[in-house]
Amino acid sequence: MTESVLQVEELTLSFRTAAGLIRVLRGVSFDIRAGELVGLVGESGSGKSVTAQAVARLLPEETTVVESGRILFAGRDVCTMTEAEMREIRGRRIGYVFQEPMTALNPAMTVGDQLMHVIRHHHGCSRREARQRVQRALEEVLIHQPDLVARQYPFELSGGMRQRIVIALAMSANPALLIADEPTTALDVTVQAEILKLILRLARQHGTAVLFITHDLGVVSQICERMVVLYAGEVVERGPVREILRHPNHPYTRALLRAVPDVARRGEPLQAIPGELPDLRHLPPGCVFAPRCVHRMERCDTRPPLRGSGDTAVACWWSGQEVPNR
């Protein structure tokens, strides 16, 4: 078994607000091994981006409280590192691809200058060597005419090209972990497929562990090996992608799969999940998904533990029973 690059262990995290502490993550646990792509999935507001930003320590220190748990990167707890230590890791050993590339790129700097700045910061090389590395970085993300693109500004490029630049920036230091936070959401289907193939190829080529955040189960099925399903800040199911997509154990996972458009059911209405995510200030007792679950029973008033063996686990009292497809 390959050693884990990232281990998130029972992470419970809150935000300080005017109304007091609001717990946004509760007991989140998963790991990622070298060269592996793990999908973190769930509806908007389920805690995906908060989890990713906690791993890279991008959440504001003054309003973030890690109540319990650990985030182990290469064996060291990110939560206990100083900001100076994190600056040595962030960008160099942990790369980050944001959802909207325009917010990640400086509009006043050319693509080449931005890449050179990052490369020289991480590698301490000369400008001449940095220019050579810039060309190689752009070629690696399959950008044609890298010399021309390096002289352009982000606003002169298409969305797909900008996202390739962001990936080149994130991979320029050959990080051990790449966090991709919904990197294909704003792209059309054709460009999305190209970006997914690019991330998969780079991960395989460099042995990079990838945490891929998305609400799109179709994307997860294309590139991820394992997946973690989040709901209202809790892990409700995790395991190999193929196994979960074929035999989902948690009613929430089943509901997410039913909500995916199916070309075989033309003309039929989409099956939306009834209700909405709970208010994190007033969570229901027991299972957090119970108010929206068609299989709710009396036992659901008690919070189900995350049970399983190996990579597979589910937090549901129905686990191990035959749940009818509704």
**CA triple 93-70-122, angle to 5 deg:** 15
322 is a domain residue: no
65 is a domain residue: yes
d(CA 170, CA 1): 27
Q: Which tens digit of pLDDT belongs to each residue from 31-54?
A: 999 999 999 999 999 999 999 999
Q: Which tens digit of pLDDT belongs to each residue from 176-193?
A: 999 999 888 767 888 888
Of 172, 192, 225, the residue at which a domain comes to its end is: 172
Query: Do both 177 and 244 map to the same domain?
Result: yes
Sheet with 226-231: list strands edge to edge: 94-97, 177-181, 209-214, 37-41, 226-231, 234-240, 312-314, 307-309
Task: Write the DSSP assignment of 4-49 as a string of letters.
Answer: EEEEEEEEEEEEEETTEEEEEEEEEEEEEETT-EEEEE-STTSSHH
Instruction: Report the pLDDT value the prediction gives residue 277, as an integer from 0 to 100.
Output: 92
Does residue 223 contact residue 192 with C-beta atoms inside 8 Å?
A: no
Query: Do both 162 and 178 map to the same domain?
Result: no
Query: Do both 218 and 305 map to the same domain?
Result: yes
Query: Do both 168 and 178 map to the same domain?
Result: no
Does residue 236 contact residue 314 with C-beta atoms inside 8 Å?
A: yes
Query: Do both 211 and 253 map to the same domain?
Result: yes
**CA triple 201-174-178, angle to 5 deg:** 65
- Among 43, 91, 28, CA closest to 272: 43
Strand partners, 32: 6
Q: Pairing mode, if any, of strands 76-77 and 307-309?
A: unpaired
If one counts the domains in the chain, the total is 2
User: Rounded to an integer, what is the distance from CA 180 to the centroid of its chain?
Assistant: 5
Residues 6 or more apart in contact with residue 196 via CB below 8 angstroms: 184, 219, 222, 223
Q: Return the C-alpha torsion angle 289, 247, 215, 182, nearest 10.
A: 130
Query: Do both 146 and 285 map to the same domain?
Result: no
Of 141, 172, 203, the residue at which a domain comes to its end is: 172
Query: Do both 191 and 162 map to the same domain?
Result: no
The parent domain of residue 18 ranges over 4-93+173-314
d(CA 45, CA 235): 13
Query: Do both 54 and 198 map to the same domain?
Result: yes
Q: Which tens digit of pLDDT belongs to each residue from 78-127?
A: 999 999 999 889 988 999 998 777 778 999 999 999 999 988 888 888 88
pTM: predicted TM-score of the whole model, two decimal places: 0.90
Query: Do both 73 and 12 map to the same domain?
Result: yes
Query: Do both 78 and 108 map to the same domain?
Result: no
Put residue 145 in one of left, alpha, beta given phi > 0 → left and psi -120 to 50 → alpha.
Answer: left
The CATH number of whichever domain residue 14 belongs to comes to 3.40.50.300
Query: Do both 111 and 166 map to the same domain?
Result: yes
Instruction: Report the pLDDT value the prediction gives residue 91, as an integer from 0 to 100.
Output: 87
Q: Which tens digit of pLDDT belongs to each residue from 255-290?
A: 999 888 765 567 777 788 888 999 999 999 899 999
125 is a domain residue: yes
Of 172, 194, 222, the residue at which a domain comes to its end is: 172
d(CA 278, CA 107): 38
